Amino acid sequence: MKILLWLILFVLCWPLALFALILYPIIWLLLIPFRLVGITVSAVLDFFKAIITLPARLFKKI
């Protein structure tokens, strides 16, 4: 899908498409730390959810 959108942009405005092609990897590299923080926060929240719901899951099995 991204390639198709880029091709449409290339046909309509090729300088902007080339600029986007050059800028995309740089932006991707800059966003890596935010992705890592998001994965870590999600894992911590899932861990706390598992701890909080553990008694309920144990009583449900009895």
Please indicate, yes or no, if residue 7 is contained in any of the structural domains. Answer: no
Residue 38: domain span: 25-62
Please indicate, yes or no, if residue 36 is contained in any of the structural domains. Answer: yes
Tokens 């861990």 belong to residue: 47
Q: Are 32 and 39 in contact (CB under 8 A)?
A: no
pTM above 0.85, yes or no: no
pLDDT digits (tens, 9 = 90+) for 16-61: 888 888 999 999 999 999 999 999 999 999 999 999 999 888 888 7
Dist. CA 9–CA 21, nearest whole Å:
11
Dist. CA 18–CA 41, nearest whole Å:
35
More confident: 50 or 5 = 50
Please indicate, yes or no, if residue 1 is contained in any of the structural domains. Answer: no
Q: What is the pLDDT averaged over residues 4-17?
A: 86
Please indicate, yes or no, if residue 11 is contained in any of the structural domains. Answer: no
Tokens of 16: 């902007």
User: Residue 58: its pLDDT value, please?
Assistant: 85
Number of domains in the chain: 1
